[in-house]
Structure 1
Amino acid sequence: MSVFLIIISLFLLAFSALLVWQVLEQRKMIKQMLESEDISDTHQDPELVLTLRVRDPIALAKRESRTGRVLADRLPVMTRKMVYQEVMKELERELDERDIEVDMHIEYR
């Protein structure tokens, strides 16, 4: 039984060594391809984006403004747009007060 385990262990060791060798060869090949194509190895980090979603814009409009109470039931799409525009204005004012430069836009999905 122990001979069988030793043989299996040696087989797994050889297989692991083969996999390590293949990974090293692939890295060499990728490096050579990048050098031959004059592509730099450095990559840019992904851009971080902050997404804000008002959970219940209709309720917010009704709670915060008199016109929101009137328009919310009759024109819900327009009310949502107005709520997002107002939230964006308030955030912009707050961030300007704190000297934080941002690019803000509303994205319709």
Structure 2
Amino acid sequence: MLTFLLAISVLLSLFSAFLYWQTLEQKKIIRQILAREDMDEVGDDPELVLTVKVRDPISVAKKESRSARFLADHLPVMVSKMVYQEVMKELERELAERQIDVDMQIEYR
């Protein structure tokens, strides 16, 4: 019984040492990333970015445009792109009315 407990304590000690080593490695990787991104000081605030995803652009297009009802079935990628462009224009208009200066772009992921 004593041998069993000793073996378990040795295993737990080895596991703890492994976790400690992993923590040190993660800290080293984080320091390298911060240095590479010119964020040497940890106090620098990251840039905030707002992402908007239209969940079902095809149904939006069909609801908003008569011609899109036909095109959506035949050219769904083009219609989705057009929906995003229109959403971006409308958001830009609304924010401009409120005098909020923004940079907007469409990203493909």
TM-score calculated relative to the size of structure 1: 0.61
2:46 counterpart SS class:
coil
Give distance in 1, aligned partners of 2:58 and 2:42: 47
Higher radius of gyration, 1 or 2: 1
Other-structure match for 1:70 = 70
Q: Which 4+ stretches in 1 moved above 6 angstroms?
A: none
Give distance in 1, aligned partners of 2:69 and 2:44: 47
Unaligned runs of 5+ in 2: 1-39
| 2:91 equivalent to 1:91 | yes
Sequence identity, in percent? Answer: 71
1:13-92 mapped onto 2 (5 Å cutoff):
41=41, 43-92=43-92
Q: CA deviation at 1:67?
A: 1.4
Code of the aligned partner of 1:107: E
Q: What is the CA RMSD across the aligned residues, in angstroms?
A: 1.3
Q: CA deviation at 1:41?
A: 4.8
1:51 counterpart SS class:
coil
Inter-CA distance 46–72: structure 2 relative to 1 (3 Å threshold): same
Other-structure match for 1:32 = none
Inter-CA distance 60–41: structure 2 relative to 1 (3 Å threshold): closer
Unaligned runs of 5+ in 1: 1-39
TM-score calculated relative to the size of structure 2: 0.61
